[in-house]
Amino acid sequence: MQALLNPSPLKYGALPFDQFQTADFLPALEVAIKDAYVELEHWKKERSAAFKDVIVSLDDLRETISQISSIFYNLHSAHTNDELEKIAPEISTKLTKFSNDVTLDPIVFARIEECWNTRDKQNLTTEEMMILNKTYKSFVRNGAKLQEAAKTRMRQIDEALAKLSISFSQNVLKATNNFEKFITDKALLDGLPESFLEASSEAAEKKGKKGQWLLTLDYPMIVPVLTYAKNRELRREMFLAHSSKAFSGDLDNKPNILEVVKLRYERANLLGYKTHADYVLEERMADTPEKVKNFLSELNVKAKPHAQREIAKLTNLALELDGIKQLEKWDSAYYSEILKKREIGFDEEVLRPYFSLEKVIAGIFQVTQKLYGLNYKELTDLPVYHEDVKVYEVTDKNGFVGLFYMDFFPRASKRGGAWMTSFVDQGISRGESRRPHVAIVCNFTKPTNTKPSLLTLNEVTTLYHEFGHALHGLLSKCKYTSLSGTNVYWDFVELPSQIMENWVHEKDCLDLFAAHYVTGEKISTDLIEKIKKSGSFLEGLATMRQLTFATLDMHWHSQDPKAFADVLKVEAQATKDLSFLPDVPGTSISCSFSHIFAGGYSAGYYSYKWAEVLDADAFEYFKEKGIFNPEVAKLFRENILERGGTEHPMNLYKKFRGKEPNVDALLRRAGIIN
């Protein structure tokens, strides 16, 4: 338990993962909360309205609680177990109660309000003004000015939402892990790459089914099946399994969804907001639901005609090759791949031998060395939370930058998808300056007995995306942790990640690492050109897919949900003008839409497209000057990556770019306009 409560004695303060015991989390949290209450009582008796005595000291007394919760939730996502799952609701309840006890305490708020009211007399820096503003608004936005009855209801809502989020997430993970399909007839897997067959065979053998092939709902398996399997019935079965996760039975998320949106709406109303979306967007670049809807509508108008032409091509191809008169959702990826081969001679599987994970990692190390002068050294003497995890010391010309953990392969204890996270945020905590400890967690194709981990182009892009988030955390140079790194507006946080994806399509970048894992032969100029073309291939449909998710999110959160009784009817209403293929009974987007029901993206999924405008405009600047231009990289580092949330993001962007972004940059990159 002491390992969770005390500062780490290890180099750079690295977390002693080998000393963390699941049974210690609850008692350690209880001790930390008890100590924090004692400190809080002393804090409440202070009379100073000075920034450091109010804001800084309040953050400090919550530090140990924040550290324990960070470790717990990171492990809960990346390496869970039955006991962690069991205590997660209680952990969530205790954290929510403590947070509400602080936020809703009238004496606590009175001190913060006094600091706020005297801010102009305190000679505060820009960063101090930002954190004071953020803290004050956070208290107000979480009920500090409510009457007692409303505060009581707020507590009930927050505790219920915390439990619902955990339940939603657990249902999705369990539903994913519950599905296994063993194949005994190899002919059913016709069309799938040899690398997939080898991995699938090894997975089956580990389950005691030697001579068979195991299919699961992990992304490295579901994506190849839908993309390459010639057997249409197999594609259909896998699509249905993937798209019906947590849709029915004991793991049904539909009741969770309806309760979540109802409670979020009620909470927003308590605070004086029309809807949950109005509440969320007050603290976003987009400002209002109307602005988001107009943004999505503008993209829809420009992308839909392209998507309609693209779906017509796929429909005609399915009819021509296989006599299929009605294209279905389990067909689109398959015929898209065939169409890509026809139109640009591009087969993504041809790229795998050039994208061994080790070389891709070495390549991105080189990219960030060229851009930001970063150096990486693997540390084998520090503990990690799973044997697959590697940890690196990151340095630059000025010394230590941070610790960087990488965790790449699927396992039953890890949720699906890919994400960046932080174990230790950069900034001053309790008077000590800390450098960040960040991690990227993915679910990539595993190595086999005969081959290293060979990535798809999409997986390489995912790695660059998450690495961009990691850079945002690692390169932070802020004073206060609550503003450092990725602690920025949600519709700005994707800029550092999405801009990194652009390098994957550039010859000067690919030449650094894309070499055949057997022969060492560099990737050809012809293949690089095809990669570039593939970046905007069927971009109309890709845009419409993202618009579907964003529009569904806004539909759930920008109106009174009292009329919402049927999840599927809500989905159908929200997406009726965005889908080109028939709905599939028994499937649902929402039931496994963890971003908005168990993550931080509610009323915020639009931010991926919003940030694409930023990253397309920003990368045009790099292209104008050279993708490794040191002056542009310095501007991006100093004004975006180092500054966290210390200024309004548009101010930071204009300091980097010299102007506001233009949506046409995105449309040009997508090939939607010239």
Catalytic machinery residues: 466
- For residue 446, the 8-state DSSP code is P
**Three-state DSSP string of 263-279:** HHHHHHHHCCCCCHHHH
CA-nearest of 141, 142, 170, 157 to 77 is 170
Task: Specify the length of the chain in residues.
Answer: 674
* Residue type, position 618, single letter: A
Listed residue (402, 445, 1) closest to 199, CA to CA: 445
Q: What tokens were used for 404? A: 């960087």
Q: Which two tokens stand for residue 524?
A: 């050809």
Give the 3-state secondary structure of residue 575: helix
Exposure string over 167-201, b if 16+ CB within 10 A, otherwise e? bbbbbbbebbbebebebeeeebbebbbebbbebbb
Contact between 285 and 610 (Cβ < 8 Å): yes
Pair of tokens at residue 209: 């089914």
Cα(530)–Cα(522) distance, integer angstroms? 15
Per the listing, tokens 């092939």 go with 213
Nearest to 457 by CA among 417, 505, 520, 525: 505
For the chain, give percent helix, strand, coil, nearest 5.
Answer: 60, 5, 30
Dist CA 199 CA 220 (whole Å): 10
Helix, strand, or coil (residue 255): helix
Query: Considering only CA atoms, which of 227, 222, 229 is closest in space to residue 186?
Result: 229
* Beta strands, E only, 94-189: 181-183
For 512, the token pair is 């650094």
Q: CA 270, CA 151: separation in Å to the nearest integer?
A: 9
Euclidean distance between CA atoms 577 and 493, whole angstroms:
29
Q: Could you give the angle at which helices 457-474 and 357-372 cross, rounded to 10 degrees?
A: 40
Contact (Cβ atoms closer than 8 angstroms) between residue 157 and residue 266? yes
The distance of Cα 309 from the centroid of its chain, to the nearest Å, equals 31
Q: Work out the angle at residue 206's Cα, subtended by the Cα atoms of residues 201 and 210, and round it to the nearest 5 degrees.
A: 50
